[in-house]
């Protein structure tokens, strides 16, 4: 946070924002506080251009003020000299800005191509799926096949993470990474989202019918919040997520724990909730690996809503806007999802308070 603090005070001085009393501000989603090499290279360019802009700004405003004060009409009849122009001056203020821009252009172009490079073999491959209004993250490759989380992307530090991002229909099941959705499939009927974790990387739009790459990387363990940055409908503001960076060995441990299927519920209330999960049709949209269905396991694999296998191990739910730790928020969500998150795909199932208690109890067993 030291960098953030320094930045904040610098900003306060530069533009004199008079926000008394708020003291040191936490800016967890600030692009000016990069926490990885990608965001770092973008921020370096910003610093360069920002200071050039400040200098130009000061020069222009000073010229305007000087001109206005020095040449104010102080009365008298004399007519100012009717100067129509000055070719040399005009050439000067055409060429100098052009040269400054060339100076900006060179590092810009270099960085564009650097950022577009493939991160290579060592990168961790993750498939990102944007839906109205939440994110799914699916770990690819041998190490993490089958692990799917929602609104929470865990990554190892000091290792590039290659994201393959797709936008899918909110109402259709995700066919999975081995059957990438093609243009022309109903499942392609998603909308444009934009994946943005300001402290790790700038935005990349997620466009239906295409797979978009983005590389992110974190230097230090920590939680980096992000959110959808392209208008995607009623709950665009409620489409948040977190990137959580771990030390590599901790990450491996996390990944291993996530590959475990869910245990059947043992205590009575949770077991009741487990039954409700099927009888109240939750199972039609949500997958829980290892769920033993009365009607057979196949239905548990459907991927319309988030995979709930390790629900209780997450920090947030419902597009990253509610705390898993807060049973009241979970109860409110189960009671009427539309009320707390307008436009959400989860319908109001008309659950009674007892049913909500039981379902919550079951969900909290999914660690």
Partner 1 sequence: MTAVPADTGSTGLRILQRPKATTGLWSWVTTTDHKKIGMMYFIATMFFFVVAGVEALLLRVQLAVPENDFLSPELYNQLYTMHGITMVFFVGIPLGATFFNYIMPLQIGARDVAFPRLNAFSFWVFCAAGIFMYSGIVLGGLPDGGWFNYAPLSTTVGPDVSGYTTGGGSGELAYQVHSGRMLLYSVGLQIAGIATLASAVNFIVTILNMRAPGMTLMRMPVFTWMTLIVAFLLLFALPVIGIALWQLMFEVRFGANFFNPAAGGDPILWEHMFWLFGHPEVYILVLPAFGIISEIIPTFSRKPIFGYTAMVFAGVAIGFLGWGVWAHHMFAAGMGPVANTAFGLTTMFIAVPTGVKIFNWVGTLWGGKVRLTSAMLFAIGAVAMFTIGGLSGVTHSVVPSNYQQTDSYYVVAHFHYVLFGGLVFGAIGGIYYWYPKVTGRLMNETWGKINFWTLLIGFNVTFGLMHFLGLWGMPRRIDTYYAGFGWEQLNLIITYGAFLIAASIALLLLNVVVSLRRGKLAGDDPWDARTVEWMTTSPPAHYNFAEIPQISARDELWHRKHAVSDSGDYVRVPAGGSGAIVVREVEDSDIHMPDPSVFPAMSAVGLPIMGWALFTSGNLMIVMLAVGSVITVGSLFAWAFEPSAEEGH
Partner 2 sequence: MAELTTAEASHEAHATSLGLSNEKIGMWTLLGSECLFFGALISAYLVYYGRYNGQPEISPALFDIPFTSVSTFVLLMSSLGMVLALSSIQRGDDRAFRVWILATAMMGSVFLSGQIYEFTVFVNEGMRLDTSPFSSAFYLMTGFHGIHVTVGVLMLITLWSRSMSGRLTSENSEVVENIGLYWHFVDIVWIVIFTAVYLIPYEQATL
For binding to partner 2 (CB under 8 A), which residues are involved? 182-184
Question: Which residues lie closer than 8 Å to 49 by C-beta, 6 or more apart?
Answer: 104
Helix (H, G, I), strand (E, B) or coil at 3: helix
31 makes contact with partner 1 (CB under 8 A): yes
- The minimum distance between CB 182 and partner 2, in angstroms, equals 7
Phi then psi for residue 206, to 5 deg, are: -110, 115
Q: Is 184 in the site for partner 1 (CB under 8 A)?
A: yes
Q: Give me the least distance between CB of 204 and partner 1, in Å please.
A: 6
Shortest distance, position 129 Cβ to partner 1, whole Å: 14
Specify whether the CB–CB gap between 277 and 362 falls below 8 A.
Answer: yes
In this structure, is the dihedral angle defined by the CA atoms of residues 31, 34, 38 and 43, taken in order, positive or negative? Answer: positive
115 vs 269 by CB, closer to partner 1:
115
User: Is the distance from CB of 349 to CB of 175 less than 8 angstroms?
Assistant: no
Among 13, 23, 88, 94, binds partner 1 (CB under 8 A): 94
Query: Which one, of 20, 22, 23, 33, lies nearest residue 219 by Cα?
Result: 33
Q: Is 298 in the site for partner 1 (CB under 8 A)?
A: no
319 near partner 1 (CB under 8 A): no
Q: From the list 183, 294, 295, 298, which residue makes contact with partner 1 (rule: CB under 8 A)?
A: 183
Nearer to partner 1, 68 or 298 (CB): 68
Nearer to partner 2 (CB atom), residue 209 or residue 343: 209
Its sign, for the CA torsion 281, 286, 287, 288, is negative
Of residues 175 and 222, the one with the C-beta less far from partner 2: 175
Specify whether the CB–CB gap between 232 and 168 falls below 8 A: no
Rounded-to-integer distance, Cα 191 and Cα 168, Å: 7
Pairing of strands 134-139, 222-227: unpaired
- The phi, psi pair for 168, rounded to 5°, reads -120, 160
* Residue among 3, 6, 10, 108 that touches partner 1 (CB under 8 A): 108
CB 261 within 8 A of CB 147: no
The residue within the footprint of partner 1, chosen from 124, 126, 162, 207 (CB under 8 A), is 207
Determine the Cα angle at 70 with ends 67 and 73, to 5°. 100
If one counts every other C-beta atom within 10 angstroms of the C-beta of residue 202, the result is: 19
Which partner in partner 2, partner 1, none is near 116 (CB below 5 to 8 A by kind)?
A: partner 1
Cβ distance to partner 2 smaller for residue 156 or 208: 208
- From the list 118-126, 222-230, 264-272, 277-285, the region that binds partner 1 by CB under 8 A is 222-230
Among residues 185 and 315, whose Cβ is nearest to partner 2?
185
End-to-end CA distance of the chain: 31
Q: Do 210 and 130 meet the contact criterion of CB atoms below 8 Å apart?
A: no
The option from partner 1, partner 2, none interacting with 98 (CB < 5 to 8 A, set by class) reads partner 1
> Least distance (Å) from partner 2 to the CB of residue 3?
46
Nearer to partner 2, 21 or 184 (CB): 184
Q: Is 15 in the site for partner 1 (CB under 8 A)?
A: yes
Q: Contacting partner 1 (CB under 8 A), which of 141, 231, 264, 328?
A: 231
For residues 258 and 344, which CB has a smaller minimum distance to partner 1 in the complex? Answer: 344
């Amino acid at each position: 946070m030291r960098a953030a603090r320094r930045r904040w005070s610098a900003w306060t001085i530069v533009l004199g924002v008079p926000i008394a009393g708020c003291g040191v501000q936490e800016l967890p989603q600030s692009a000016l506080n990069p926490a990885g090499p990608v965001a770092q290279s973008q921020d370096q360019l910003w610093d360069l251009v920002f200071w050039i802009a400040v200098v130009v700004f000061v020069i222009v405003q000073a010229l305007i003020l000087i001109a206005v004060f020095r040449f104010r009409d102080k009365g008298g009849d004399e007519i100012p000299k009717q100067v129509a122009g000055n070719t040399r001056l005009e050439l000067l203020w055409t060429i100098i800005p052009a040269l400054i821009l060339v100076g900006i252009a060179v590092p810009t172009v270099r960085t564009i191509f650097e950022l577009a490079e493939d991160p290579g073999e060592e990168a961790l491959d993750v498939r990102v799926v944007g839906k109205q209004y939440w994110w799914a993250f699916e770990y690819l490759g041998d190490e993490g096949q089958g692990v799917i989380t929602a609104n929470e992307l865990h990554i190892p530090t000091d290792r590039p993470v290659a994201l393959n991002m797709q936008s899918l229909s909110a109402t259709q099941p995700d066919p999975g990474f081995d059957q990438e959705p093609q243009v022309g499939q109903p499942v392609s009927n998603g909308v444009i989202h934009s994946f943005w974790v300001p402290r790790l990387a700038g935005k990349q739009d997620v466009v239906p019918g295409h797979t978009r790459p983005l590389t992110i990387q974190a230097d230090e363990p920590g939680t980096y919040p992000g959110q959808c940055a392209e208008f995607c409908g009623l709950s665009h503001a409620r489409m948040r997520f977190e990137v959580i960076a771990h030390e590599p060995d901790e990450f491996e441990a996390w990944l291993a724990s996530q590959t475990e299927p869910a245990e059947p519920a043992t205590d009575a209330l949770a077991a009741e909730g487990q039954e409700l999960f099927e009888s109240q049709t939750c199972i039609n949209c949500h997958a829980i690996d290892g769920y033993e269905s009365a009607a057979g396991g196949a239905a548990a694999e459907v991927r319309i809503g988030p995979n709930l296998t390790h629900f209780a191990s997450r920090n947030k739910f419902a597009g990253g806007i509610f705390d898993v730790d807060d049973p009241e928020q979970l109860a409110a969500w189960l009671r009427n999802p539309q009320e707390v998150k307008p436009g959400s795909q989860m319908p109001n199932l008309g659950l009674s308070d007892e049913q909500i208690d039981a379902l919550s109890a079951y969900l909290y067993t999914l660690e």
